Chains A and B, each alone.
Chain A
Amino acid sequence: MPLEKPESKALETRQRFYYSSDRIIEKPFNWAQMARLLQYLKPYAKTLLPGAIIALLIGTAIRLTVPILIGVYAFDRVIKHQDIHGLYWLVGTIAVLYFLSYLSNYFRIRLTNILGQYVIFDIRKHLFNHVQYLSNRFFDSRSAGSILVRIINDVNSLQDLFTNGVINTLTDLLMLCGIIVILFSLSWQLAIAVMLVIPLMFFLSTKFRRKIRRAWQLVRLKQSKLNSHLNESIQGIRVTQSFNQEVNNRAFFDVVNTEVFETWRSATQKNAVFRPFVEMANAIGSAILIWFGAFLIIHSHLTTGIFVSFAFYLGMFWDPISRLGQTYNQLLVAMASSERIFEFLDERPNVRDAQEPVSMDGIKGTIDFEDVRFT
């Protein structure tokens, strides 16, 4: 794509506008800060939290049980022994379990969201109320926009963590551990073989993801530059037109627009490269199951039912690992946001009320300044 040329020679080499868009989006993980953040969960530790955790335990337990029923029980017991009666019992049991799982999911989604929204409400309230009583000096040194961004955007970016992040992490860890334990108890040989792909999956969802994440951060940075310029060019359009700067500004915009396009293209490419690797990780797992599983069955070390259960569990592997990677990203974003929030909360007003304030009712209105100095 050929770039548009500016009319003025000097602008071919010079950046015409400057926009500060380099807000740090992520920070390394910090335990103390995390602990302080989790303090906000405390008021709900005995009300909403236990319900949410019970719901998630029930849901996870059911999701872990069903593959055994459909695999081992259905194939090795019912179908093998041609037990129609047992089949009806099995179908009934699974139906009941699915219904329980439906209820537990309902409560889990509801309770975790209520919990998360209450926490966000509390943090925002705390922050806003605190800011109200800070002194003029605080406001003099900051633009209104930068304060707004903390009360609105930074608090919003904690939303994901508190509504889904914390609970999902628990669910996913539980799920992964559960699957591993079950797989080993069903067939340790096949379990070991299949587990070979787990490190690969973890590598993909952390290391690989980091590159992708960085690429998207760059896109957001360039986009915010583009938006700042758009905003300014609209507000300053009358000046631009009266100074004949339409062509020069188009050339500037073209550069920024191309930057956005290029970073976006590169990020989307990195994202796409991720796909074949994920497919391969999954494929290797399935291939091991098919090949080694068939080998074990033929040599009578394994039953068809266990094989089917394995196939189910293998299908449940990638989601929690991938989500854990996302949660990790959420945490890093939350670190940066919460650091900015805490920075405001730690700010103390330097003009305070007197310990025992005097009432100003019935005041006459004389003011005397005696030897006042102010720097």
Chain B
Amino acid sequence: MDTFRRLKNFYWPHKKYLFGSLLFLLIVTGATVCYPIVLQQTIDKGIKGQNFGYASILAFGFILIMAIKGVAAYFQQYWGNLFGISSVYELRKALYRKLQYLPFRYYDNAHTGDLMSRLTADVEGFRFFLSFGFSQLFNFILIVSFSLVIMFSYSVPLAVVTLLMTPFLAVTVYSFDKKVHPAFRAIRKSMGRMNTRVQENVSGMNTVKAMAQEAKEIERFEWNNTDYKDKQIYTSTLWAKYFPFMEFIGNICVVVLLGLGGTFVIRGEMKPGELVAFFSLVWYIMGPLMELGFMVNQFSQAKASGERLLQILDEPIEIASPENPIETDRLLGSVEFRHVYLKYPNEESYALKDITFRARPGQVIGLMGATGSGKSSITRLIARFYDATSGEILLDGESVKNYSLKTLRKNIGFVQQETFLFSSTIRDNIAYGNPDATDEEIIDAAKRAQAHDFISELPNGYDTILGERGLGLSGGQKQRIAIARALLINPSILILDDATSAVDMQTEAKIQMAFRELMRGRTTFIIAHRISSVRHADEILVLKDGQIAERGVHEDLIQNPNGLYRRIYDIQYKDHEQLKTQQNA
């Protein structure tokens, strides 16, 4: 119950829909049980009493009652649904808001697929319960008690007989429910596996074809396809076993009622109309009972869904602007690290140890080192994507924690290793950080990023819509759009995180050219694997296991014969030298 109490803020404001819906449900259920009564009255009073006038009153009265029922059913259904969708509207809004501000730390460990299933399936599970769960439960109580009252007033023995049948049905429903839900889960899992198999097959089609693996792939898919079919057939066997049996229990009840009730009617202890009414009333009890298992399951699923949603909502946002932040339009761009240590959550060792350096406005800092040596971690601390575990980071002499996040990030331009573009026009992608930019500004940024030429050649130019994940453009083209995007916010600090690792030599040359334009007048951090990217830097920091192993300018660093930088230099330039000698020979 705790889950529902804690999610109260989302659904309680809409309680008027819930209560309105339940009120009308009372009318609907009341009208439903009128049918057997009207039938009984027609047979016992109208027909037996040869009272045609009374039958006419019943007929019109019935239409009237059903008209009321219809209108009530409208409100009951509409408001019940509205209760669910209004609550879920607020819930989705809150979830999205939360997701926007959760720090990088959260996304490092979260899978998109898992988050998506919470945002879709769990939200839907919760909505379904709000829309239908309450009213189903209420309906169950109402219709069963109404029907029992009528039954007992017609014939106590027959009512008792009906009640005696219910435990059989309840046991059957319970055992069906226990089996069918794992079976449904198995189907969903099997579907998921088949999905993954096809996904891998189609996206790896080039490899499949190059290796002539088609027959093998067909065989592997055959296994998935068979597994899915078998799981489906198993579940349908459960249905086949249980559903006709549940119906059979109800039918047996009808047969017993006919035998017993028939005897009563023959003996004159019961009116025939009352017996006929019983045949309808039985199903008003048996029907909802068959759905009881479904209802209970729905409740427990909604609870589990609610818990998964609360996990997101309860997640702390530890990186936020301070109370009275420094807000400024433009930083000068000096960056200073003082004995900075960083340990990522859930990790044993430090990613950064005792990092101290200083970059003056406009300087270029090169960061080199093996994967995982801490290059990217340094840059992420500047924009407060993470907070340092200890030590201080100063921008223009003030701790980064004293600035508003907005000021901080407005002044820091990132070009990340993996370019992410949105499903949007090229224009809007470039203007992503500054949507108010004019067309001239956008084109200017694209020109300076060496992107204008290829964009102009596209049939729709800047209005070209990029597909999900920026499909249709080459890696280098995407990279240049990302550079234009960073340029357009005119940052005072620029971070180029391994931006040229995935492109060919010719494109790299173009991008390097764009970088030089980009770096003018900004403090720049370049993370790179290639010496060529950092050799002109004002200071190069060579990192090893989170520590600064060497520092200095290119010319000095290559003088140290045992240094890490020199070793990288040798590896990267040996081929080059050899090539030169070969060409000269």
Contact = CB atoms under 8 A, between A and B. Distances in A.
Given A121-B226, A250-B97, A94 B258 contact: yes
B258 to A, nearest CB: 6
A110 to B, nearest CB: 4
Interface string B291-304: 00000000000000
Contacts of B243: 105, 109
Contacts of B71: 276
Contacts of B236: 109-110, 113-114, 117, 163
A121 B423 CA distance: 35
B112 A235 contact: yes
Given A106-B241, A109-B236, A261-B85, A294 B47 contact: yes
B266 to A, nearest CB: 5
A315 B405 CA distance: 67
Interface stretch (A126-134, A205-213, A322-330): A126-134
B232 interface: yes
Contacts of A308: 43, 276
Interface size class of B (residues with CB under 8 A): 35 or more
Given A99-B248, A242-B409, A249-B100, A117 B262 contact: no
Contacts of A290: 38-39, 42, 46, 55, 58-59, 62
Contacts of B97: 250
Interface stretch (A39-47, A266-274, A366-374): A266-274
B100 A237 contact: yes
Interface string B256-288: 001100110110000010001001100000000
Interface in A351-374: none
B328 to A, nearest CB: 14
A318 interface: no
Interface string A167-204: 00000000000000000000000000000000000000
A253 B244 CA distance: 47
A245 B410 CA distance: 10
A164 B211 CA distance: 42
B222 interface: yes
Interface string A1-30: 100001011110010111110000000000
Contacts of A129: 218, 221
A16 B433 CA distance: 12
Interface string B32-72: 00010011001100110010100110111011011101110
B173 interface: no
Given A17-B424, A87-B263, A250 B258 contact: no
A272 B74 contact: yes
A54 interface: no
Given A232-B422, A232-B468, A294-B42, A257 B60 contact: no
A242 B258 contact: no
B107 interface: yes
B471 interface: yes
A102 B202 contact: no
A139 interface: yes
A248 interface: yes
A235 B468 CA distance: 10
B120 interface: yes
Contacts of A14: 428, 435
A291 interface: yes
B432 interface: yes
A332 B218 CA distance: 31
Interface string B395-431: 0000000000110011010101000101111001000
Given A78-B262, A152-B194, A241-B104, 20 more contacts: A8-B434, A8-B436, A14-B428, A16-B424, A102-B244, A125-B225, A235-B420, A237-B100, A257-B89, A258-B89, A260-B89, A268-B82, A272-B81, A276-B74, A278-B70, A283-B62, A291-B56, A293-B55, A294-B42, A308-B43
7 contacts: A20-B467, A87-B266, A102-B248, A128-B198, A144-B199, A245-B432, A291-B60
